[in-house]
Amino acid sequence: MLKNVKIWLAIAALAGGTIIGCSQDYNDQRPPAGNLDPDNVGLQAKDVQAATDMLAADLLAAPELNQSSTKWTLVVDHMDDMTSERLCPMTPGSANYDIFLSRLKVNLSQLGHGRVQLIENLQKYNDLRSRELSGPQFGQGGAGAPATAVNPEYSLYGKAMDMPNRATNFYHLEFDVTDLKTRETVWTRMYEVQTAR
């Protein structure tokens, strides 16, 4: 009987160790995204979060938006990569800067409360329609959006630039909202950070 108890205690201890080991492995593999990792270089998740949280709050507080009698119809375009990294896209630290616009778009949707209506990019919209809808009433074979589609009034886009040096890299990310009818830039902001190389 004592021998069986010892065996069960040993099995329980091993199982408990395995569970604790798994949770430690999970925590090690899933560190908080808001933390900087000393082993990484260049822009990190913290930069994406900080920039897009700041930009969404600023855009939603903009007088141009809040004084508008109608909600803004906004299409999110893409980030132009003008960094030195674009020449070597497979090097460690190279980035897909569209992640900034993607997270900013989600923030605007979550926090906009009806002040901003997001409009799908036309190319993506046409691709979705051609794959999911059939028949001439859905404009198969035609170009552009059907007459019932909402056209955006504003476009949100950005550009990423950097200035690398021996030990550091200075990043300048610019975000613009352009009025598609008047060509006016109605909102422009930046996020700047210097990182280790």
pLDDT tens-digit readout, 29-73: 777 776 777 777 788 889 999 999 999 999 999 998 988 888 999
Banded model confidence at residue 25, pLDDT cuts 50, 70, 90: confident
The CB density around residue 175, as the number of other CB atoms within 10 Å, is 22
- Mean pLDDT, residues 181-188: 96
| 9/62: higher pLDDT | 62
Question: 41-196 in CATH: which number?
Answer: 3.40.50
Q: How far apart are CA 132 and CA 169, in angstroms?
A: 44
Does the pLDDT of residue 143 top 60, yes or no? no
Where do the structural domains in the chain lie, given as residue ranges? Answer: 1-31, 41-196
pTM of the full structure: 0.76
Residue-wise DSSP of the chain: -HHHHHHHHHHHHHHHHHHHHHHHHHHHHS--TTSPPTT--SS-HHHHHHHHHHHHHHHHT-HHHHT-SSPEEEEEEEEEE-SGGGGSTTSTT---THHHHHHHHHHHHHH-TTSEEEE--HHHHHHHHHHH--SGGGTTT--S--TTSPPPSEEEEEEEEEEE-SSEEEEEEEEEEEETTT--EEEEEEEEEEEE-
Q: What percent of the chain has pLDDT above 70?
A: 75
Q: CA angle, 86 as apex, 193 and 172 as ends, to 5°?
A: 20
pLDDT given at position 44:
87
